[in-house]
Amino acid sequence: MRTNLRVPFADKDEAKRLGARWDPAKKLWYVHNIANLAAFARWLPAGTDPTGDAPPPPTTAAPVHTGARYFVLSCDCLPWVGCPQCGAAVDARGWRA
């Protein structure tokens, strides 16, 4: 896995000595397949765990809102359309009335 680094010009020789590589196309330093990034901690982007043990960041998915007419279907059909498998449940809830 590639990890990009924010290495100031003054630190480039030390980063190279530790194993960082220069990407001329993107004009930045990076390391590849290093499990413990502790040696590169001061150059890591904000929020990166140098030990590699951090859980993934929380998602920012929108909360799910349900109403009084909400019910779970046993298939993937649209509730206002229904299918032979869930048609009776959809009709009972008044979706196709």
> What are the sequence ranges of the domains in the chain?
2-43, 68-97
- What's residue 74's pLDDT? 74
Please report, for residues 22, 51, 80, 83, the alpha-carbon distance to residue 3 in angstroms, rounded to integers and kept in the order given.
12, 13, 47, 48
* pTM flag (> 0.75): no
- What's residue 92's pLDDT? 81
Q: Is the pLDDT of residue 14 over 70?
A: yes
Q: Write down the mean pLDDT value for the chain.
A: 80
Strands 21-23 and 2-5: unpaired
pLDDT tens by residue, 25-70: 999 999 998 888 889 888 988 767 666 555 555 667 677 767 777 7
> Taking a C-beta distance cutoff of 8 angstroms, is the pair 30, 23 a contact?
yes
